Amino acid sequence: MAAPLLRVDNLTVRFPTAEPVSRLSFEVGEGETLAIVGESGSGKSLTALALMQLLPRSAKIPNGRIEFAGRDLLGLDQKAMRNLRGREIAMIFQEPMTSLNPVLTIGRQITEVLTLHEGIRGKAARNRAIELLNLVRIPDPQRRIDDYPHQLSGGMRQRVMIAIAVACRPRLLIADEPTTALDVTIQAQVLDLLDTLRRELSMAVVLITHDLGVVAQWADKVVVMYAGRKVEQALPGALFRTPLHPYTRGLLAASPRLKTNLHYRDARLTEIPGSIVSAAGEKGCPFRPRCAVARDSCAHFVPALVEVSEDRLVACPYSFIPEVAHGVAVGL
Amino acid sequence: MASTDFAAGDARSRRAYAEAREPAVPAEPEAKSWSNLHAPDARSASAASVPIAAGGRALKIFLRNPNAMFGVVFLSLVVLAALLAPVLYPADPLSMVARPFLWPGQNPAFPLGTDSMGRDVLSGILHGARISLFVGLVATALGLSFGILVGATAGYFSGWIDDLLVRLIEIFQTIPSFVLLVVMVAIAQPTAPVVTVAIAVITWPTVARLTRAEFRAIREKDFVMAARSLGYGHARIIFREILPNALPPLIVTSSVMVATAILMESALSFMGLGDPNVVSWGSMIGAGRELIRTAWYLTALPGLAIVFTVLALNLIGDGLNDALNPRFSQER
């Protein structure tokens, strides 16, 4: 296989008081969709910002490597990085309501990026913006182009955000919970759109989400994060068939599934006790305080990621013991 | 904020769409990277320019405000007077043209009478409008430009640049501004340009503080992060993304600044520190001061000119405030 488009190696993000991402590694191939799953506070969004080199000023990256198309992003200067952003790596944010500039028309906001990165201006830029709006399936684009963001619905705004992001045909699109702020019917449309665009523009997508349903349907590869660490990596089919890490099992047991327990009346949904905050300041496995199968030894060391099979990594040494697996599967 | 004015926006866009039904001119089929993708109707559609005046809603509110309209009408009269002064009274307004102390209405040739030296009061007021408006507008333009530049830089960058610029602003704010103005004019030649620049020097810190506060708030908005993720540079983000959002309070302030500058110029002239070679409202009041018991009209008439011009500018400022503040305009 060719070299991956994006290779993140041992990435650590550190604030003066905390380390929200630690020793995270993953790869994204050309045209591939990688889903990063985890609950709020697991470091997903900071990972995305680290990829864009847009971390808050107090955050430092003490070690690690982000390699994009053979270039080390951490070694690039401001100017080179600015050139890359929007042109080769683009990002979509969670909140379409506030991610568009409220006082500029959407057309102006799309043409701005075209002018900056591709030097297209005037009528040509406008035509291109209309094409882009059409590409993201906004009806009646030649009129909509002069609308202000407040005249559009949430789903439409997210489509406009996507249009801006893909305007320069980036090779990598980072989507940070792109559908969290949208209602369910729109979510599927937007994700379908992203997937279609990914294929048409042959771009890779890093899809950050906490929605396992999204993962099952749209991801090629899944990384499960907990407290800044990768705890499991798998292909989505394998992940849903045989979740290994206790956290992944907990996540799956906590979401309704088709057939077996579509509704809580059919089968109880379980919860993962505690919250991610309880991992702060703990030694050993970050998931230990919430883990149903934790042993004494879990308090002493951070479990290493073990390659179970091809494309399958897990960071729990007890995940293979049958009674442990059983204990979690029944929800305890 | 934006989500509260759907009604107004929709009504406007509907009308705009109706206007936009123009003959569809097929756009020239450019061989663009998108042409292989599905954008057929976009390419055949015209790039019809839909005339949505930015801030059309605000303009409507402003035009419906009787106070603001009074301000606009009166200010237009002052501007007209300033423009027509050299046509109506081509002679130097400081030359003696008639016998002194003609009361208003006493001689139809001098409708507002003459002063202690036999100079025409109406000619003085018309010519005085020129200097008042010149000083008011130019000083405001200078103060606004410099204040926005400093405030935007300080608010956007924060850190040591912010500290440095805030210290600079504070130095100016600790000095009594009118005393500083008097000192500056006394040191330099008291010509109209010097007075103008001096007034700009003492007014820019207010603008800088206001701009800085706006920038600090807007800088944290999601759309600024989105702009950074598109690779926009600092200047582009400051002037094209943030500044349009920070404008409403600045526009309102600037109308009051014009009024303040006119008052300051009048005060300087009243104290005899203005340009002795041009007539201004302030110098007319200063000259009439000693005769206030015998010929009160010499101070009252230029005084009324100042009062109404400043009032007009304040009313315009109020009207703009109401029109540009979407929350306020929703409440009415």
Mean pLDDT by 10 residues, chain B (332 residues): 43 45 45 44 36 61 89 94 90 87 88 89 92 93 96 93 95 92 91 93 95 94 93 93 90 89 91 88 90 91 93 91 63 39
pLDDT at B14: 45
Q: Which residues contact B235 (CB under 8 A, 6 or more apart)?
A: none
Q: What is the mean pLDDT of chain A?
A: 85
Chain B nearest CA to A164, separation (Å): 8
Q: Across the interface, which of A95, A148, A200 has its CB nearest the CB of B37?
A: A200
Give the chain B residue whose CA is nearest to the CA of A123. Answer: B47
Distance from C-alpha of A175 to C-alpha of A168, rounded to nearest angstrom: 16
Q: What is the pLDDT of residues A109-134, one digit of tens each?
A: 999 999 999 999 889 999 999 999 99
What residues of chain B lie within 8 A of the CB of A148, using their CB?
Answer: 2, 9
pTM for this model (two decimals): 0.78
Count of CB atoms situated within 10 Å of the CB of A195: 16
Q: Sorting pLDDT into bands at 50, 70 and 90, what band is A283?
A: confident
pLDDT: which is higher, B165 or A331: B165
CA closest to A152 among chain B residues: B6
- CB nearest to B229's CB, from A91, A141, A142: A91
Q: Quick check: A212 and A86 in contact, CB under 8 A?
A: no
Residue to test with chain A: of B230, B240, B247, B251, most A Cβ within 10 A? B230
Quick one: pLDDT at residue A262?
55
Residues 166-195 of B with CB under 8 A from A: none
Using a CB–CB cutoff of 8 Å, tell me whether B240 touches chain A.
yes
- State how far the alpha carbon of B270 is from the alpha carbons of B35, B74, B231, B265, B285, in Å: 71, 24, 54, 8, 6
Instruction: State the average pLDDT over residues A186-196.
Output: 90
Q: Which of A198-207, A232-241, A289-298, B292-301 has the lowest mean pLDDT?
A: A289-298
Residue B319: CB partners within 8 Å, gap ≥ 6? B62, B65, B67, B68, B69, B71
Give me the residues paired with residue A11 across strands: A24
Mean pLDDT is lowest, of A207-221, A226-240, B235-249, B318-332, for B318-332
A–B interface: beta-carbon pairs under 8 A: 132
Whether residues A100 and B226 touch (CB distance < 8 A) is answered with yes
Closest partner CB to A101 (pick from B1, B39, B223): B223
- Does the CB of B272 have a partner CB in chain A at under 8 Å? no
Taking 50 as the threshold, does the pLDDT of residue A8 lie above it?
Answer: yes
CB < 8 Å to A134, chain B: 38-39, 41-42
**Min Cα–Cα distance to chain A from B124, Å:** 45
CA dihedral B37, B41, B46, B49 (to 10 degrees): -90
ipTM of model? 0.85
Q: At a CB cut-off of 8 Å and minimum separation 6, what does B119 contact? A: B93, B94, B95, B96, B97
Q: How confident is the model at residue A267 (pLDDT cuts 50, 70, 90)?
A: low
CA distance B165 to A81: 28
Name which of B10, B41, B229 is nearest A85 (Cβ-Cβ). Answer: B229
Chain B residues with CB under 8 Å of A102 CB are: 1-2, 223, 245
The DSSP line for B219-249 is HTSHHHHHHHHTT--HHHIIIIIIHHHHHHH
**Taking CA atoms, what residue in A is nearest to B233?**
A82
Q: A248-257, A267-276, B102-111, B175-184 — which is least confidently predicted? A: A267-276
Which residues in chain A have their CB less than 8 angstroms from residue B21's CB?
none
Q: Which residues of A touch B3 (CB under 8 A)?
A: 97, 150
Span of A28-32, A274-278, B226-230 with lowest mean pLDDT: A274-278
Q: Give the pLDDT of residue A38.
A: 86
**Better pLDDT: A202 or B330:** A202
| Best mutation target, B17, B32, B223, B330, to test chain A (most A CBs within 10 A) | B223
B10 to chain A: nearest residue by CA? A151
Residue A80 has pLDDT above 60, yes or no: yes
CB distance from B234 to chain A under 8 Å?
A: no
Share of residues in chain A with pLDDT > 90 (%): 41
Substitution target in B22, B221, B229, B236 with the highest count of A β-carbons within 10 Å is B229
The predicted-structure confidence for A130-142, as pLDDT tens digits, reads as follows: 999 999 999 999 9
pLDDT (0 to 100) of residue B209: 95
CA-based diameter of chain B, in Å? 88
Name the residue of chain A whose CA is nearest to B158's CA. Answer: A57
Q: Least CB-CB distance to B229: which of A52, A126, A143?
A: A52
The two three-digit tokens of residue A239, written as one number: 């992940």
B38 neighbourhood in chain A, CB within 8 Å:
134-135
Q: For residue B236, list chain A residues with Cβ-Cβ distance below 8 A.
A: 116
Contact (CB<8Å) B43/A85 = no
Q: Could you identify the residue written with the tokens 């061989």?
A: B31
pLDDT confidence tier of residue A265, bands split at 50, 70 and 90: low
CA distance B249 to chain A (A): 14
